[in-house]
Structure 1
Amino acid sequence: MARNICFCAAITAVLISLCIAATLDIPIYRQHLIVGDETRGKSIKASETKPNPVWHNDTIPLQKFMDAEYFGIIRIGSPAKNFKMVFNTMWGDTWIPSAHCGLFEIACMTHTRYDSSRSSSYQEDGTIFSTGDTANDLQGFVSRDKFRLDHLTIENQSFIEMTHIPWIPYGLSKADGIIGLGFPDLRHIKAPSFFTNMLKQKLINKPMFSFYFNRDATTERAGRLVLGAPDRKHVNESTLVTVPVIGKLYWNIKMDRMVIDVRDKSHPFCKDGCEALLDSSTNTIVGPRDEIQLINDLLGARSFVPAIFKMDRYMVNCREFAKLPPINFVIAEKTFTINSKYYVQHLTYESLEICLSPFVPSDEKFWQLGGAFLMEFYTEYNFDHGQVTIGKTKF
């Protein structure tokens, strides 16, 4: 009984995390893209020392939480304090929980909170913030402080100190907050975004970032985010395709179609082309309700919907999911295939297990391609050119 309760708690945490989409604590590894410090760990003479290298990009190691969310560490304030942050292509702003949360703000109190009184580099702004969404309202106020990466420091970065964070969907999220990587027009506040500030302060040379995700299920390493540079070490360059972004708000591109072959029959979706938003914050693939229902039927998935979560998730047979068909996404007339070994979310706790389809229905007409798609592909995002580059990852 106790084991079942623990597993249910774990599944509850995952389901909460999967809701985050408005949705990787120890740095695992880091690839230095400009220069390396080959003297680390060696004794050197004063005459042999060299000036510190000038960095024009930085790398953030990513971790994953039960394949449901991906986050990395940002250090904020002086002295610096670690925050686990989701780098979210679906958001324009940056926010973290505030020490000014009320005692009954459970989602805030259970995460790392920012206390301006303990940071000597804090700067007051005070602008009031609210998403205005009655069902999922976030409330707080704007502040400024230093944001520190491994090699770069962003000065006077504006962010939202959240004082009200809904329990659903944020309460059991592993991450503390969000750094928005959407286009500037997606911001709720007027101050420069995290990425815009990096450019304005000449910390990076190129107005781009790139994601590489690690699909190894045996590790919490989830890959890395590179800010200001491409990172094509793990991509098959012959598979790269570059497509324009539609509208420069979200990172949404045109998807030509999607095809699933089952029992020698092809089942097309998005037949006349459709918009697809690339979503780094979650592991799901979201699409129009009628098409998602048909896809889940083809996968033999059955509904798994705890009513309190106000979400639609489907389960597949854990003993059979490896036999599920590959799914083909056609973008710029090039086919990108994902396999069930990676697109099914396989959760285990001792001898108990559950397997979730990544396909989640929505009342919107566009698609959102999250980690179930991104896990098998390398992606580059270029602000100035308004384009996304996608290629097959080498493992």
Structure 2
Amino acid sequence: MGTMFRAAVIILFLSSILLQLVFSESNDGFVRIGLKKFKLDENNRIAARLTLQILGSKNDGGIVKLTNFMEKQYYGEISIGTPPQKFTVMFDTGSSKMWIPSSRRCYLSRWCFYARRSRTYIRNKYDARRSRTYKKNGTSAEIHYDSGSIAGRFSQDNVLVGGLTIKNQDFIEATKLSGSVFDFTKFDGILGLGFRELFDCGVVPVWYNMMNQGLIQNPVFSFWLNRNTKEEEGGELVFGGIDPKHHKGDHTYVPVTHKGYWQFDMNDVSINGQSIGVCKSGCSAIADSGTSLLSGPMTAITMINHEIGVTGGEVNHKCKSIVEEYGQTILKMLPREVAKKICSLIGLCPINGTKRMKKSNNRRTSISMCNTCEMIVVWMESQLVRNQTKNDIFNYVNKLCGSLPIPYQASDVDCSQISSMPIVSFLIGARNFTLSSKEYIWKIGEGADQECISGFLSIDVVSPPYKPFWIFGDIFMARYHTVFDFGKSIIGFTDAA
């Protein structure tokens, strides 16, 4: 996902897949990079709760093999400089920059301390003095995440990915990493595969230079993430094409609607085949290999987590008070009024962009009241279309008001109930893409100490056209082989093999 909120998502996602790449060439024209698995032990439990390809022979493209660490994060190996210096990176479709820790200077931060004291944390640092192909750039750079930041300067050197050498690639030498997001990660840096528009500061991303330098024939890359943690191979990222042995059936392609993230439109969200009514005004989503969970707006995630039996959450007294004061009015208005207008008509949201709202202490409170009201309207409408009684509707809404998910925080479920949990599906193009409980529930530990976690996370991220979007991370991409077609500006999904 995007760099503005990457760190917060990384730190809250309960899994991490650390990749070590092994380069190999095959007779199919691809270069493959194999990834090895890391076993999760008690020392890695904190790392397991953290949340953040394929290159081949010249002109044909290649393949980067991935390692599966708890089915939630995938990493690979690249090299920089002459002679090559190896680094483990996250191949991230939710960002466009590449950064690697620098050995030049280390400003005071927790990362500097950990890097010196322990191999458990970030280890490898780029040393420009050791590379004959290094070229100075010197432009300062800084990236802010929700839970941290990096800072440093751009440098230029040759970058080797999957056997392909990208010459004179600009990247950030990070001299400062601060924030809790980096405390327990095992990757060295990030290699972004998003659109240049996501961070256009005059630096050409690695993926663009692969195309510009003629290293791949087709401007396409595709992800296969292996969900079988018992197998050595954790997955593959293929640059320049699609490996047919990693998918079943034809892909469903949809247009990229806004360049930056790999963003597309989604038509509906259903539970056990019944629409929950959250996409009547349209839903937007991104495919993000750097995110472990599947996140969405609070309105929808609250409904989904309620249906799958999430325990806990927080009581929202504002939500309950709106139901108590306006619930009967909203219910009476729903059959005849457009749901989107109801909160404006009762004075909790602006009318036609004006500020005509009921008095409140501050603007934030007014916005919060408006958002909460609109959420309640969606919940009530979803029950009306199911022909629920008035009492059932109010009981349902009050339960949701009493169990709102905490943003960026995953929720527990009862492990014994997994087999009875519903199917959740997403209508993309003309196909419903389903996820079963075995695919959206994470299991941590074994026996009496086992924990089960919902893979649905509440994050209200707003992006053009100014509405919250969904983030389809590794939970979704492990189930569905994903194709990123840069040339046609489309993205495709089909069953992973």
Q: Where on the TM-score scale, by shorter chain, does this alignment land: which range?
A: 0.7 to 0.9
- Note the alpha carbon deviations across 1:333-389, whole angstroms, 9 max, x for none: 211111221221212268632221111111231111101111111111111211011
Q: 1:384 to 1:54 in 2, by over 3 A?
A: closer
User: Are the aligned partners of 1:284 and 1:358 in contact in 2 as well (CA < 8 Å)?
Assistant: yes
Shift of 1:85: 1.0
2:287 to 275, 278, 281: 278
Mapped to 1, the partners of 2:134 and 2:22 lie a distance apart of 25
1:359 to 456, 461, 470: 456
- Of Structure 1 and Structure 2, the greater strand share is in 1
RMSD (CA atoms): 2.9
- Indicate the structure (1 or 2) with the bigger Cα radius of gyration: 2
> Match of 1:67?
71
- Note the alpha carbon deviations across 1:79-101, whole angstroms, 9 max, x for none: 21221111111101111111134
Shift of 1:314: 0.5
Mapped to 1, the partners of 2:240 and 2:212 lie a distance apart of 12
* 1:185 corresponds to 2:189: no
> Match of 1:380?
483
* 1:329 corresponds to 2:432: no
- Note the alpha carbon deviations across 1:123-156, whole angstroms, 9 max, x for none: 1101000135686332111011111133211111
Q: How do 1:43-122 residues align onto structure 2 when only pairs under 5 Å count?
A: 54-102=58-106, 104-107=108-111, 109=115, 110-111=121-122, 112-122=124-134
Q: How do 1:281-360 residues align onto structure 2 when only pairs under 5 Å count?
A: 281-303=290-312, 311-348=408-445, 352-360=449-457
Matched AA of 1:18? F
> Match of 1:216?
228
Mapped to 2, the partners of 1:358 and 1:216 lie a distance apart of 17
The number of aligned residues is 359
Task: Please list every run of 5 or more consecutive structure 1 residues that lacks an aligned counterpart in the other structure.
Answer: 1-13, 38-51
- Note the alpha carbon deviations across 1:315-334, whole angstroms, 9 max, x for none: 11223223322211111121
* 1:130 corresponds to 2:161: no
Identity of paired residues, percent? 31
- Note the alpha carbon deviations across 1:185-204, whole angstroms, 9 max, x for none: 11253121101111111111
Mapped to 1, the partners of 2:108 and 2:459 lie a distance apart of 32
Mapped to 1, the partners of 2:195 and 2:275 lie a distance apart of 36
* 1:227 corresponds to 2:239: yes
Q: 1:299 to 1:180 in 2, by over 3 A?
A: same
* 1:142 corresponds to 2:146: no
* 1:259 corresponds to 2:362: no
* 1:247 corresponds to 2:258: yes
* 1:368 corresponds to 2:481: no
Q: 1:337 to 1:31 in 2, by over 3 A?
A: farther
Mapped to 2, the partners of 1:134 and 1:179 lie a distance apart of 19
- Of Structure 1 and Structure 2, the greater helix share is in 2
Q: 1:124 to 1:256 in 2, by over 3 A?
A: same
Mapped to 2, the partners of 1:36 and 1:224 lie a distance apart of 11
Task: Please list every run of 5 or more consecutive structure 2 residues that lacks an aligned counterpart in the other structure.
Answer: 1-8, 33-55, 116-120, 315-405, 462-467
Matched AA of 2:279? C
Matched AA of 1:94? M
Q: How do 1:149-164 residues align onto structure 2 when only pairs under 5 Å count?
A: 149-164=161-176
Q: 1:148 to 1:357 in 2, by over 3 A?
A: same
User: Are the aligned partners of 2:147 and 2:181 in contact in 1 as well (CA < 8 Å)?
Assistant: no
- Note the alpha carbon deviations across 1:65-88, whole angstroms, 9 max, x for none: 333321111111222122111111
Shift of 1:36: 9.2
TM-score by length of 1: 0.82
- Note the alpha carbon deviations across 1:284-312, whole angstroms, 9 max, x for none: 1111112212211111113489xxx9831
- Note the alpha carbon deviations across 1:184-232, whole angstroms, 9 max, x for none: 1112531211011111111111111100111113246321100111222
Mapped to 2, the partners of 1:147 and 1:35 lie a distance apart of 18
TM-score by length of 2: 0.66
310-319 or 290-299: bigger deviation: 310-319
User: Are the aligned partners of 1:94 and 1:194 in contact in 2 as well (CA < 8 Å)?
Assistant: yes
Mapped to 2, the partners of 1:371 and 1:29 lie a distance apart of 25
> Match of 1:11?
none
> Match of 2:44?
none
Mapped to 2, the partners of 1:168 and 1:231 lie a distance apart of 38
